[in-house]
Chains A and B, each alone.
Chain A
Protein backbone atom coordinates (compact mmCIF):
# COMPACT_ATOMS: atom_id res chain seq x y z
CA UNK A 1 0.00 0.00 0.00
CA UNK A 2 1.38 3.37 -0.99
CA UNK A 3 1.98 5.70 1.90
CA UNK A 4 -0.24 8.78 1.81
CA UNK A 5 1.21 12.22 2.17
CA UNK A 6 0.01 14.57 4.88
CA UNK A 7 -1.78 16.65 2.22
CA UNK A 8 -3.56 13.54 0.94
CA UNK A 9 -4.60 12.63 4.49
CA UNK A 10 -5.90 16.18 4.96
CA UNK A 11 -8.01 15.74 1.83
CA UNK A 12 -9.35 12.47 3.24
CA UNK A 13 -10.25 14.26 6.46
CA UNK A 14 -12.19 16.86 4.51
CA UNK A 15 -14.10 14.03 2.84
CA UNK A 16 -14.96 11.97 5.95
CA UNK A 17 -15.75 15.06 8.04
CA UNK A 18 -18.07 16.65 5.49
CA UNK A 19 -21.20 18.00 7.12
CA UNK A 20 -23.08 16.98 3.98
CA UNK A 21 -22.55 13.30 4.81
CA UNK A 22 -24.26 11.26 7.52
CA UNK A 23 -20.92 10.16 8.96
CA UNK A 24 -20.20 13.60 10.39
CA UNK A 25 -23.52 13.55 12.24
CA UNK A 26 -23.03 9.98 13.46
CA UNK A 27 -19.70 11.06 14.92
CA UNK A 28 -21.34 13.98 16.69
CA UNK A 29 -24.57 12.25 17.77
CA UNK A 30 -25.90 12.93 21.25
CA UNK A 31 -28.78 11.55 23.29
CA UNK A 32 -30.46 14.68 24.51
CA UNK A 33 -32.98 13.25 26.95
CA UNK A 34 -33.95 15.98 29.33
CA UNK A 35 -36.61 16.37 31.95
CA UNK A 36 -38.19 18.83 34.30
CA UNK A 37 -36.39 20.09 37.41
CA UNK A 38 -35.44 17.65 40.14
CA UNK A 39 -38.19 17.30 42.75
CA UNK A 40 -36.78 15.50 45.78
CA UNK A 41 -39.94 15.78 47.84
CA UNK A 42 -42.00 14.08 45.16
CA UNK A 43 -39.33 11.38 44.77
CA UNK A 44 -39.35 10.71 48.52
CA UNK A 45 -43.14 10.50 48.53
CA UNK A 46 -43.18 8.06 45.61
CA UNK A 47 -40.49 5.92 47.25
CA UNK A 48 -42.39 5.91 50.54
CA UNK A 49 -45.60 5.00 48.76
CA UNK A 50 -44.11 1.97 47.05
CA UNK A 51 -41.39 0.74 49.43
CA UNK A 52 -43.43 -1.96 51.22
CA UNK A 53 -44.83 -3.32 47.99
CA UNK A 54 -41.38 -3.33 46.34
CA UNK A 55 -39.79 -5.20 49.24
CA UNK A 56 -42.61 -7.76 49.26
CA UNK A 57 -42.35 -8.33 45.52
CA UNK A 58 -38.55 -8.44 45.58
CA UNK A 59 -38.55 -10.99 48.40
CA UNK A 60 -41.15 -13.02 46.55
CA UNK A 61 -39.02 -12.91 43.39
CA UNK A 62 -35.92 -13.78 45.44
CA UNK A 63 -37.59 -17.16 46.08
CA UNK A 64 -36.82 -17.86 42.43
CA UNK A 65 -33.17 -18.26 43.38
CA UNK A 66 -34.18 -21.41 45.28
CA UNK A 67 -36.05 -22.76 42.27
CA UNK A 68 -33.22 -22.09 39.87
CA UNK A 69 -30.17 -23.10 41.85
CA UNK A 70 -28.15 -26.13 40.82
CA UNK A 71 -26.67 -27.44 44.07
CA UNK A 72 -23.23 -28.99 43.81
CA UNK A 73 -23.31 -32.80 44.14
Chain B
Protein backbone atom coordinates (compact mmCIF):
# COMPACT_ATOMS: atom_id res chain seq x y z
CA UNK B 1 0.00 0.00 0.00
CA UNK B 2 2.71 2.44 1.01
CA UNK B 3 4.70 1.60 -2.08
CA UNK B 4 1.73 2.50 -4.24
CA UNK B 5 1.42 5.94 -2.64
CA UNK B 6 4.88 7.13 -3.72
CA UNK B 7 6.40 5.95 -6.97
CA UNK B 8 10.12 5.45 -7.44
CA UNK B 9 10.13 8.60 -9.57
CA UNK B 10 8.48 10.62 -6.79
CA UNK B 11 10.95 9.34 -4.20
CA UNK B 12 13.79 10.27 -6.52
CA UNK B 13 12.35 13.79 -6.90
CA UNK B 14 12.03 14.16 -3.13
CA UNK B 15 15.61 12.93 -2.69
CA UNK B 16 16.90 15.50 -5.19
CA UNK B 17 15.05 18.33 -3.43
CA UNK B 18 16.17 17.13 -0.01
CA UNK B 19 19.78 16.80 -1.15
CA UNK B 20 19.82 20.31 -2.66
CA UNK B 21 18.41 21.81 0.53
CA UNK B 22 20.92 19.88 2.66
CA UNK B 23 23.77 20.90 0.37
CA UNK B 24 22.80 24.56 0.58
CA UNK B 25 22.64 24.25 4.36
CA UNK B 26 26.15 22.78 4.44
CA UNK B 27 27.50 25.55 2.18
CA UNK B 28 26.23 28.22 4.55
CA UNK B 29 27.18 26.25 7.65
CA UNK B 30 30.75 25.89 6.42
CA UNK B 31 31.40 29.61 5.92
CA UNK B 32 34.33 30.36 8.20
CA UNK B 33 34.10 26.98 9.90
CA UNK B 34 37.29 25.07 10.76
CA UNK B 35 35.67 21.70 10.13
CA UNK B 36 33.56 21.21 7.03
CA UNK B 37 30.24 19.41 7.05
CA UNK B 38 28.88 17.53 4.05
CA UNK B 39 25.95 15.35 3.07
CA UNK B 40 26.34 11.58 3.21
CA UNK B 41 24.19 10.39 0.25
CA UNK B 42 23.59 6.91 1.64
CA UNK B 43 22.36 8.21 4.98
CA UNK B 44 20.22 10.87 3.29
CA UNK B 45 18.68 8.17 1.08
CA UNK B 46 17.73 6.29 4.25
CA UNK B 47 16.17 9.47 5.66
CA UNK B 48 14.10 10.12 2.53
CA UNK B 49 12.79 6.57 2.08
CA UNK B 50 11.97 6.19 5.79
CA UNK B 51 10.25 9.58 5.84
CA UNK B 52 8.01 8.74 2.90
CA UNK B 53 7.28 5.27 4.27
CA UNK B 54 6.02 6.99 7.42
CA UNK B 55 4.02 9.52 5.41
CA UNK B 56 2.55 6.69 3.34
CA UNK B 57 1.46 4.83 6.46
CA UNK B 58 -0.05 8.03 7.85
CA UNK B 59 -1.96 8.67 4.64
CA UNK B 60 -3.17 5.09 4.38
CA UNK B 61 -4.63 5.26 7.87
CA UNK B 62 -5.93 8.82 8.13
CA UNK B 63 -7.05 9.79 4.64
CA UNK B 64 -10.21 8.59 2.97
CA UNK B 65 -8.52 8.78 -0.46
CA UNK B 66 -4.81 8.33 0.28
CA UNK B 67 -3.80 7.94 -3.34
CA UNK B 68 -5.11 11.32 -4.45
CA UNK B 69 -5.13 13.34 -1.23
CA UNK B 70 -1.89 14.95 -0.08
CA UNK B 71 -0.79 14.98 3.53
CA UNK B 72 0.32 18.41 4.63
CA UNK B 73 3.87 19.64 5.08
CA UNK B 74 3.64 19.30 8.87
CA UNK B 75 3.98 15.53 8.44
CA UNK B 76 6.92 15.98 6.10
CA UNK B 77 8.60 18.19 8.72
CA UNK B 78 7.87 15.81 11.59
CA UNK B 79 8.85 12.55 9.92
CA UNK B 80 11.93 14.11 8.31
CA UNK B 81 13.00 15.40 11.73
CA UNK B 82 12.53 11.94 13.21
CA UNK B 83 14.73 10.29 10.59
CA UNK B 84 17.31 13.09 10.30
CA UNK B 85 18.00 12.68 14.00
CA UNK B 86 18.09 8.91 13.60
CA UNK B 87 20.51 8.70 10.67
CA UNK B 88 22.49 11.96 11.09
CA UNK B 89 23.19 12.41 7.34
CA UNK B 90 25.30 15.55 7.82
CA UNK B 91 28.78 14.32 8.52
CA UNK B 92 32.21 15.77 9.28
CA UNK B 93 34.76 13.70 7.35
CA UNK B 94 37.66 15.71 8.79
CA UNK B 95 36.78 14.67 12.32
CA UNK B 96 38.79 11.49 11.94
CA UNK B 97 40.27 10.09 15.11
CA UNK B 98 43.84 10.56 13.94
CA UNK B 99 44.17 13.63 11.77
CA UNK B 100 41.04 15.68 12.23
CA UNK B 101 40.46 18.63 14.51
CA UNK B 102 38.05 17.98 17.36
CA UNK B 103 35.62 19.71 19.62
CA UNK B 104 34.23 22.57 17.56
CA UNK B 105 31.34 24.37 19.10
CA UNK B 106 28.37 23.52 16.95
CA UNK B 107 29.30 20.28 15.24
CA UNK B 108 27.39 18.07 17.65
CA UNK B 109 24.27 20.07 16.84
CA UNK B 110 24.52 20.18 13.05
CA UNK B 111 21.89 17.53 12.30
CA UNK B 112 19.45 18.95 14.83
CA UNK B 113 19.98 22.41 13.34
CA UNK B 114 19.39 21.11 9.84
CA UNK B 115 16.24 19.26 10.95
CA UNK B 116 14.88 22.49 12.40
CA UNK B 117 15.80 24.49 9.29
CA UNK B 118 14.19 21.91 6.98
CA UNK B 119 11.08 21.83 9.14
CA UNK B 120 10.74 25.60 9.28
CA UNK B 121 11.02 25.81 5.50
CA UNK B 122 8.19 23.26 5.23
CA UNK B 123 6.09 25.09 7.80
CA UNK B 124 6.65 28.39 5.99
CA UNK B 125 5.50 26.77 2.75
CA UNK B 126 2.49 25.27 4.53
CA UNK B 127 1.40 28.49 6.21
CA UNK B 128 2.56 30.94 3.50
CA UNK B 129 3.90 32.97 6.44
CA UNK B 130 7.54 33.88 6.91
CA UNK B 131 8.34 33.56 10.58
CA UNK B 132 11.19 32.87 12.98
CA UNK B 133 11.06 31.14 16.33
CA UNK B 134 12.06 32.88 19.53
CA UNK B 135 15.62 32.25 20.74
CA UNK B 136 14.18 30.19 23.61
CA UNK B 137 12.15 28.04 21.21
CA UNK B 138 15.19 27.40 18.99
CA UNK B 139 17.12 26.32 22.09
CA UNK B 140 14.30 24.19 23.48
CA UNK B 141 13.81 22.41 20.17
CA UNK B 142 17.53 21.79 19.73
CA UNK B 143 17.84 20.50 23.29
CA UNK B 144 14.88 18.17 22.97
CA UNK B 145 15.98 16.84 19.59
CA UNK B 146 19.45 16.08 20.92
CA UNK B 147 18.68 14.81 24.42
CA UNK B 148 15.06 13.73 24.55
CA UNK B 149 12.96 11.27 22.63
CA UNK B 150 10.25 13.18 20.86
CA UNK B 151 8.39 10.61 18.83
CA UNK B 152 6.84 11.51 15.51
CA UNK B 153 3.38 12.03 17.04
CA UNK B 154 4.82 14.61 19.44
CA UNK B 155 6.70 16.27 16.59
CA UNK B 156 3.52 16.51 14.50
CA UNK B 157 1.74 18.21 17.40
CA UNK B 158 4.64 20.61 18.08
CA UNK B 159 4.91 21.58 14.42
CA UNK B 160 1.14 21.98 14.14
CA UNK B 161 1.23 24.32 17.12
CA UNK B 162 4.02 26.35 15.54
CA UNK B 163 2.08 26.52 12.25
CA UNK B 164 -1.10 27.53 14.05
CA UNK B 165 0.78 30.23 15.93
CA UNK B 166 2.26 31.51 12.67
CA UNK B 167 -1.24 31.65 11.20
CA UNK B 168 -2.51 33.58 14.19
CA UNK B 169 -4.77 30.74 15.33
CA UNK B 170 -5.20 30.84 19.07
CA UNK B 171 -3.96 27.82 20.99
CA UNK B 172 -5.61 28.86 24.23
CA UNK B 173 -8.87 30.66 24.87
Question: Which residues does A use to contact B, with CB under 8 Å?
Answer: 30-40, 42-44, 46-48, 50-55, 57-62, 64-65
Complex contact B63–A32 (CB within 8 A)? yes
Please name 20 pairs of A and B residues whose Cβ atoms are closer than 8 Å in the assembled complex, sorted by A. Answer: A32-B69, A35-B72, A39-B125, A40-B14, A40-B17, A43-B122, A46-B121, A47-B24, A47-B25, A47-B118, A48-B24, A51-B25, A51-B28, A51-B117, A54-B117, A54-B120, A55-B29, A55-B117, A62-B113, A62-B139
Given A50-B130, A58-B113, 10 more A-B residue pairs with CB atoms under 8 Å apart are: A35-B71, A37-B70, A38-B70, A40-B13, A40-B14, A43-B122, A50-B124, A55-B113, A55-B117, A57-B138
Smallest CB separation, A64 vs chain B (Å): 4
Q: Could you say which of B21, B28, B61, B69 contacts A44, with CB atoms under 8 Å apart?
A: B21
Residue picked from A32, A33, A60, most chain B C-beta under 10 Å: A33
Majority DSSP secondary structure for residues of A touching B: helix
B44 CB-CB contact with A under 8 Å: no
Write out the residue numbers on chain B whose beta carbons fall within 8 Å of the beta carbon of A39: 125
Q: For the complex, give the distance between the alpha carbons of A62 and B122 in Å.
A: 22
Chain B interface size, under 10 / 10 to 19 / 20 to 34 / 35 or more? 35 or more
Main secondary structure of the interface of B (DSSP, over half): helix
A58 to B113, CA, bound (A): 7
List the B residue with the shortest CB-CB distance to A56.
Answer: B28
- Complex Cα spacing A47 to B125, Å: 9
The answer to whether B142 and A61 have CB atoms under 8 Å apart is yes
Contact with A along B130-157 (1 / 0, CB 8 A): 1011011011001100000000000000
Given A30-B62, A57-B135, A44-B20 contact (CB < 8 Å): yes
CB-based nearest A residue for B135 = A61
B binding-site residues for A, Cβ under 8 Å: 13-14, 16-17, 20-21, 24-25, 28-29, 61-64, 69-75, 105-106, 109, 113, 116-118, 120-122, 124-126, 130, 132-133, 135-136, 138-139, 142-143, 160
